Structure 1
Amino acid sequence: MTRSKPEYHCGLDAAVDVVGGKWKPLILWALGARGALRFGELRRNVPGVSEKMLIQQLRELEADGIVHREVYREVPPRVEYSLTEPGNALNKALQPLGEWGSAFMEVIIQRKTEQPAV
């Protein structure tokens, strides 16, 4: 089964397609900050993510060439995840967004708690 060719209107559109969602930026941050991690280590470094969601997000990031999955033929088998060159570049591109979030986190929290639930 082949995937249809996505249509992007700009570079931001393509980037958001790759990194969109709640967990992918946090996975990138953990791998960028800690280096290669085994699945359990990665799960501990991304608080709140379920095992199923982490597996799904890692598979998508691997398919997009952002994360590398290395399987070591040992007993017991060992698998490590790390960022690829495009993954490192993407992680660096997200750093200013993280800095913006840190600078305005209290304002964001305040506005979110003041707004009535939809």
Structure 2
Amino acid sequence: MEKSYLTQNDTEECIYELLGADKIYESFAMISGKWKLKLLYIIGYHEVIRYGEIKRQAAPITHKMLSTQLKELERDQLIIRKEYAQIPPKVEYSLSERGLGLLPMFNELFQWIVKYNV
């Protein structure tokens, strides 16, 4: 059998075969697109952040796109949206437990950037 790079170690099955393509692609869809990784990074970096600050840091994202992407990230349980009942409205975002699970991926990506001078 041909060695796959997508294994946890030499004795385990290929992760692709273990999980199946549909599960993997479904997971990729949760974080794919032009904005989602950037938004996850911004929210994770700040731990708790308000909508306006996310919009400022994710510029030039439009209000509609930001709103849509945040709703999708919340739907996929990667972020938590906390709305305060006050005037003017106050909304804060943070990573959920599932979203926090992506932080090692970001750390690996940062190491890759440094190693290959990307």
Answer whether TM exceeds 0.5 for this pair. yes
Higher relative contact order (CA 8 A, sep 6+): 1
> How far 1:48 moved relative to its partner?
2.3
Is the 1:71–1:78 Cα contact (8 Å) retained in structure 2?
A: yes
Structure 1 residue runs without a partner (length 5+): 1-7, 106-118
Q: Which amino acid aligns with 2:70?
A: L
Q: Which amino acid aligns with 1:53?
A: M
Give the structure with higher Rg (CA).
2
Q: Secondary structure at the match of 1:80?
A: strand
State the match for 2:96 in structure 1.
84
Corresponding position: 1:50 with 2:62: yes
Equivalents in 1 of 2:71, 2:53: separation in Å? 17
Identity %, equivalent residues: 34
1:35 to 47, 60, 66: 47
Instruction: Show CA shifts across 1:10-36 (max 9, x none).
Output: 654232111011210000111111111
Q: Which amino acid aligns with 1:35?
A: E
TM-score by length of 2: 0.72
Equivalents in 2 of 1:51, 1:22: separation in Å? 15
More helix by share: 1
Residues 79 and 15 (structure 1), Cα distance of their counterparts in 2 relative to 1, 3 Å cut: same
State the match for 1:113 in structure 2.
none
Count of residue correspondences: 98
Instruction: Show CA shifts across 1:35-92 (max 9, x none).
Output: 1111110111223222211111000000000111101011222111111000011233
Q: Secondary structure at the match of 1:76?
A: coil
CA RMSD of aligned residues (A): 1.9
State the match for 2:13 in structure 1.
none
Structure 2 residue runs without a partner (length 5+): 1-19
Q: Secondary structure at the match of 2:67?
A: helix
Residues 97 and 13 (structure 1), Cα distance of their counterparts in 2 relative to 1, 3 Å cut: farther
